[in-house]
Structure 1
Amino acid sequence: MKNSFKLSIAALIVAGLSVQPAMAGGKDAATAAPKGQGELGIVVINPYKIAPLTAIIDLGGKRLTNAEVTIRAKGKKGIDISYDVQRKAILTHNGIPLFGLYANYMNVIDVKYQLESGEWKNETYKVQTQPIYTNAVDGQLAPFPENNVQKVAKGFEDRLYFILGTQRDLESKNMQWSRGGAADWNSHPSYNYVTDTAGDVRWYLSPFRFDGTDSNEMRGVMMGWHQMDNGEMIVAKGQSYMRYDLLGRKVFERRLPRGYIDHSHEIIATDHGTYMIRVAKKDYHRPDGKVVNTVRDYIIEIDATGNVVEEWDLNTILDPTRDVLIKALDSSAVCLNIDMDKMGKKVELEPDAPFGDHAGIGTGRNWSHVNSIDYDAKDDSIILSLRHQGTVKVGRDKKVKWILAGNVGWKGLSDKVLTPVDDKGRKLDCNRGVCEGDFDFPWTQHTAWLTDRDTLTVFDNGDGRGFDQPAMPTMKYSRGVEYKIDEDKMTVEQVWEYGKERGYDWYSAVTSNVNYMSDKDSMLMFSASAGLFDKGRSHPILTEVSADQDKDIKVEIRINHVAPRLVMYRAQVLDVELAF
């Protein structure tokens, strides 16, 4: 028995030794590649875990030079999404990127690709996606914003619109800095999605990766999305700024540099490789000796590796005690601080108001509220929209070049206020910012951006118009407006406007934007808080019209938000061809 037991053990040992070499280096060691639907590899859905309606067809060991993709439309009224894929994108993702899948649907994708040998292949893939899944909070009336298409003109069917919106506060840790600031406001999560002209969602950003409920570093609204020349997207969020591509691949994600806090509203890229970000300054020493955190009144320029190369302190460039417009604001809506009980009531300024994110004057309060930045490469200057002051151009020398606003209360800067003129160059008479003829200044405006036809577009929200409140709130209106500025003569001419004729239904107390679109000679406008004061859900309105004087509506989409008193932020045209 003992000898038999020893022989059995020896046999097992010998057997084990005999198979190990074959397992380690033999034919059986290789792992068979997963079988794909076509001649390439498998389809990896949501490859970077933050963009659920994207995918990658893995190369499966093949070498490709380029590809063409079409995501087939859903039903008879759906929209195809087609784009070319360059070799760089194929190499970066080790596969063919798929963008624009429908949610909760068996997508059909036609793919044409070229092998290194020059041979072309045509294949069809099917990809089942999951339903849209985002945060759900108390008070919602719908799971996701609803896009109701009103009109799409011929030639605009292929438009894709990137919609940026807000959601209610989630229960979260209080992050209010000890000396005020706007960090507590930055607890809002956000919606970020793409709609086509049929109203279908074709991309959205999963909020969970960026949820700041339990992380001070991650708190904040994702604001200031811009698509770069290479198709990637930049955005900032509270205490950080980041860059991603449309498939969700992270290019970088960085904390704000030390000493700067509370980003919101804007980040842009300049044409010399830097980023400009609207922030605030931590532990700012006021002339009276008080130490505060400032609120939405600092611009910093950061290079590609994160070094701060310049800053603009608006507390020293402008007058933080100018109150003529702030006193005229409707206190029911100051940015996203919404209080329906104060509708139609002017802001009451208190000399000893607490520091922090409150409409007020003096460093440490929300006296400026910068909501957009643009960079003018012609003279290395920045153009800023200050909701509570006006639109201002400032040079790198920190000197004001011009001001687009009513000439009231600009101590020491009155000579920098642009003079309104008509189309013949004749000066227009203005009284407290109200001018004769077809001219009006922008009031509590957003997105003062240059166009490539040598003009400036501004979304004129319209609150505080004429430094006053109208007899009834329903008399308010908003506009998309275009100005021609002559910096030598220090004059401004209004050359185009849209929205006044739409009245209160199109009025947005806060947020919103306007972009001139040179590809179709149109103006894209987003009245992002339309319907904010309705009893039901707000109805932000995306309107793209011809940029001539006919102002024909080319696209209009009305969006039902998920809950009352919620607004969208901005909308922009998304160019898929840039991305791949």
Structure 2
Amino acid sequence: MVTSPSAPTLSSSVSGTGNPLVASYSLTAPDQSQVKIQFGLTTDYGLETWLVPAPSGGGTVTILVAGMLQSSTYHMRAVVQLANSITIFDVDQTFQTGAIPADIPMPKFQVTASDTPPCAGVELVNLNPNNPVVTDLQGDIIWYYFNATDQAHKCHPMPLKPLTNGNMLVSCTNRYDGAKTPYCVLREVDLASKTVSGPNGPRELLMEDLNQRLENIKTPFGRTVQVNYYSHDVLPLSNGHVILLCQEFVNVNVGGTEILVWGDALVDLDDSYNPVWVWSAFDVLDINRHPFEWSPGAYDWTHCNAVQYTPDGNLLLSVRNQSWVLKLDYANGSGSGKILWTLGFEGDFAWNNLDTATWFFAQHDPFILETSDNSITQLALVDNGNYRAGTYPTPYSRGLILNIDETKMTAEISWQYPVSPNFFSFWGGNVNRLLNQNIEICMSDPIPCGSQQKSAPSFAVEVTVDQQEIWRMNTTPSNVYRSNRIPSLYPGVQW
């Protein structure tokens, strides 16, 4: 590759955005070229964005530069890769980041680490409540999401997820923020938290607009769904569709008495956010099975908290208050909605002759780790342990990795952490395997069981397969819903 140390013909500028940690870098790029931005605290730079193609015929390329510390001076320059394989560099530019506004609530992070380096990347922290942030591995905030309308409605993302186009997808709800009036919105935003525009206008969907569109579509069982809140997860699919998890409140006759039951629904939205397939727990689950959180005024029947796409085109749904993970017949949008299997206590899988109390209970965020052909072979989740069946005097929580066999319908524990029964986290959390093969576990509301019974800070911890802790980040005062190590803020870029 041929390089040129300078490019005086490049016309560029750097300006601020609505987010004080994000810069906007614009330059005129030649036809068929690609542009990325290098940036850092010195002219050694060290970090970079992804490559963005110039418009047809050449023209202005604008890249949002994110991943910077607050109140710091950064150096940055554009790198232009021409069609003839020559690379040219813009002159060095400087940008002064601002301070995070004092009226935006931010948690504090405390990191402890061993001499062994943790897995590279940054930490995406979804909070409950409050806005999601991204930190470096020293616990310093380098990016955050903020929307003034959300804050006015006491609404926060639950969760925020990176998209392959470089934007972020947020499913905002005020279900758990003490607001008197429901407010929910699905929104695609750029790195400056600005709502993205598409051919049909802003890429957002308010709950009241979704409910109008849902009047014209029925579940495979003939019901019409009306959403009361957006709920605990959103799943972007590779075809541009989005699976939105929602809560649905329905009056149901139970034992001769009509009560208002809190259930869940899934809505498949096309790339214009129009519903094209709808599923409801009220169609397929037994209303008389309610092992957890079933009491007058709060008949929280399902409390689903995660949805995943399976390799055979179906959906995996975590139903916390049933202590089940369901595989649903989605069939890439043409499925019957029926339950293909249930994984968990009193479900369809044999538990390899283990004590039934060692099943997971009231779980969070089942995540597919390994597959073979079109079958799931390994699954990670947080076993919160609420209402654990058996004779244990207190509940306990752990991160679990399960080996499962969808043909033989068997499941067994492959790995767990911590192994002590003297640890409990009432809700939240997630487990994942990192690129270095270590395991990251987030616990949202931990209580070290003992004489004081006081809540400890939420934490994310990176451990080796043999249980050696090499990195931990404690969070106060907010609770962490999920914490995920991601390569960087840009698709395909590893920091």
Q: Give your verdict on TM over 0.5.
A: yes
Q: Which residue of 1 aligns with 2:51?
A: 85
CA distance in 2, matches of 1:466, 1:537: 24
CA distance in 2, matches of 1:134, 1:121: 37
* CA RMSD between the two structures: 3.5
CA distance in 1, matches of 2:91, 2:121: 26
Q: 1:202 aligns with which of 114, 138, 142?
A: 142
CA distance in 2, matches of 1:318, 1:55: 49
Offset of residue 155 of structure 1: 5.4
Q: Specify the code of the residue in structure 1 equivalent to 2:436.
A: K
- Unaligned residue ranges in structure 2 (runs of 5+): 1-7, 174-183, 197-202, 212-225, 330-334, 372-376
Secondary structure of the corresponding residue to residue 169 of structure 2: strand
Write the mapping of 1:336-415 to structure 2, written as runs, cut at 5 A: 350=295, 353-354=296-297, 358=298, 365-378=299-312, 380-390=313-323, 391-395=325-329, 396-407=335-346
Write the mapping of 1:286-305 to structure 2, written as runs, cut at 5 A: 286=252, 295-305=262-272
CA distance in 2, matches of 1:88, 1:526: 40
Q: Does 1:443 align with 2:443?
A: no
CA distance in 2, matches of 1:226, 1:151: 26
Q: Which residue of 1 aligns with 2:445?
A: 529
Q: Does 1:44 align with 2:12?
A: no
Q: Does 1:576 align with 2:493?
A: no
Offset of residue 511 of structure 1: 1.3
CA distance in 2, matches of 1:96, 1:233: 15
Q: Which residue of 1 aligns with 2:185?
A: 240
Offset of residue 133 of structure 1: 1.4
Q: 2:431 aligns with which of 514, 536, 542?
A: 514
Q: Specify the code of the residue in structure 2 equivalent to 1:450.
A: I
Which structure has the larger Rg? 1
Q: Which residue of 2 aligns with 1:417?
A: 348
**CA displacement, residues 106-150 of structure 1 (integer Å, 9 cap, x when unaligned):** 2233543346784612532221122111536xxxxxx63122111
Given that 1:71 and 1:107 are in contact with CA atoms closer than 8 Å, whether structure 2 keeps it comes out as yes
Q: How many residues align?
A: 437
Given that 2:186 and 2:206 are in contact with CA atoms closer than 8 Å, whether structure 1 keeps it comes out as yes
Write the mapping of 1:95-134 to structure 2, written as runs, cut at 5 A: 95-114=62-81, 118=86, 120-133=88-101
Given that 1:451 and 1:516 are in contact with CA atoms closer than 8 Å, whether structure 2 keeps it comes out as yes
CA distance in 2, matches of 1:544, 1:92: 44
Q: Which residue of 1 aligns with 2:413?
A: 494
Distance 1:125 1:509, change over 3 A: same
Offset of residue 263 of structure 1: 0.7
Higher share of residues assigned strand: 2
CA distance in 1, matches of 2:259, 2:20: 42
**CA displacement, residues 21-80 of structure 1 (integer Å, 9 cap, x when unaligned):** xxxxxxxxxxxxxxxx9954331212xx2x331111221687782344343259xxxx95
Q: Does 1:478 align with 2:397?
A: yes
Offset of residue 429 of structure 1: 4.7
Distance 1:131 1:573, change over 3 A: same
Q: Does 1:54 align with 2:16?
A: no
Q: Does 1:255 align with 2:211?
A: no
Q: Does 1:460 align with 2:379?
A: no
Secondary structure of the corresponding residue to residue 315 of structure 1: helix
Q: Specify the code of the residue in structure 2 equivalent to 1:578.
A: P
CA distance in 2, matches of 1:60, 1:448: 45
Given that 2:134 and 2:144 are in contact with CA atoms closer than 8 Å, whether structure 1 keeps it comes out as yes
CA distance in 2, matches of 1:418, 1:226: 31
TM-score when normalising by structure 1: 0.67
Given that 1:42 and 1:58 are in contact with CA atoms closer than 8 Å, whether structure 2 keeps it comes out as yes
Q: Does 1:225 align with 2:141?
A: no
Given that 2:447 and 2:455 are in contact with CA atoms closer than 8 Å, whether structure 1 keeps it comes out as yes
Offset of residue 571 of structure 1: 1.2
CA distance in 2, matches of 1:109, 1:302: 39
TM-score when normalising by structure 2: 0.78
Secondary structure of the corresponding residue to residue 491 of structure 2: helix
Offset of residue 295 of structure 1: 2.6
Q: Specify the code of the residue in structure 1 equivalent to 2:24.
A: I
Offset of residue 291 of structure 1: 8.5
Q: Does 1:272 align with 2:239?
A: yes
CA distance in 2, matches of 1:402, 1:371: 18
Q: Specify the code of the residue in structure 2 equivalent to 1:42.
A: S
Given that 1:220 and 1:237 are in contact with CA atoms closer than 8 Å, whether structure 2 keeps it comes out as yes
Q: Which residue of 2 aligns with 1:162?
A: 124
- Unaligned residue ranges in structure 1 (runs of 5+): 1-36, 137-142, 168-189, 214-218, 327-348, 359-364, 408-415, 422-427, 435-439
Distance 1:153 1:88, change over 3 A: farther
* Greater Cα offset, 240-249 or 508-517: 240-249
Distance 1:110 1:470, change over 3 A: farther
Given that 1:419 and 1:491 are in contact with CA atoms closer than 8 Å, whether structure 2 keeps it comes out as yes
Given that 2:417 and 2:467 are in contact with CA atoms closer than 8 Å, whether structure 1 keeps it comes out as yes
